[in-house]
Amino acid sequence: MLALSQPAYVLHSRAYRESSALVDFFTPQGRLRAVLRGARGKAGSLARPFIPLELETRGRGELKNVARLEAAGIPNLLSGEALFSGLYLNELLIRVLPAEDPHPVIFEQYALTILALAQGRALEPLLRAFEWRLLDELGYGFALDSDVQGDAVVESGLYRLQADSGFLPIGHWQPGAFLGSELLAMADADWAAPGALAAAKRLMRQALAPHLGGRPLVSRELFMTLKEPTRD
């Protein structure tokens, strides 16, 4: 059987049997799991997140075998909050993406986002843009400048998100509601607008929640721990 060669990133890796690793890869052809034999050698040193790779796999079933694994670019060195952000993206893809479902646009967005994190760009706009593209490409996107009835969002209005369909106008404030001005700022990616980034973070949490199966993201909890002030 011919091996399939494609660009890839490691999302997660863990020890498997005596000297192998069970690796979750992300490729333009989707998320796949493969056994990497001899994981204590050179190939094992490459089976780490954020390294652009060239991957060849063999096998027809859900669990494949790595036939070849080589570096395909300069490793993206992440540290601090950027590292936790990258781990969050990896866990999000594992939890949300169906196995072996091709999404080349998401793969390209992921590669660009990881590179931008390594370059030290502002975290929040990068994460919100990736989450939005992920939802949209999976068919769960919605309009930010019009409501579920097709009417234009009013700057002074109040809205509540209906999962996977859009925003419903509401007459009074409710927990989790959004101002029309916040939605319009997000539609324009105007992150300098007051409250836009905070509202975008809240919105993405609401929009992603139905697709995470009710279990919290470990990387998100670790990230929150990192940001908590230390106590003497």
pLDDT (mean) for 188-199:
93
pLDDT at 221 over 80: no
Residues 97-134 have pLDDT tens digits of 999 999 999 999 999 999 999 999 999 999 999 999 99
Say how far residue 191 (Cα) sits from the centre of its chain: 20
Which residues 6+ apart lie within 8 Å of 183 measured at CB?
144, 145, 153, 159, 167, 199
SS3 percent helix, strand, coil of the chain, rounded to 5, is 35, 25, 40
> What domains are defined for the chain?
6-71 (2.40.50.140), 80-226 (1.20.1440.120)
- pLDDT (0 to 100) of residue 156: 94
Confidence of residue 15 (pLDDT cuts 50, 70, 90): confident
Residue 175: pLDDT above 60? yes
pLDDT number for residue 153: 97
pLDDT bin (cut points 50, 70, 90) of residue 1 is very low
Q: Can you give the pLDDT at residue 232?
A: 44
Does 87 score more than 90 pLDDT?
yes
Q: Where does 37-141 show beta strands of DSSP type E?
A: 53-58, 63-71
pLDDT surpassing 90 at residue 204? yes
pTM above 0.85? Answer: yes
Is residue 220 predicted with pLDDT exceeding 90?
A: no
pLDDT of 16: 86
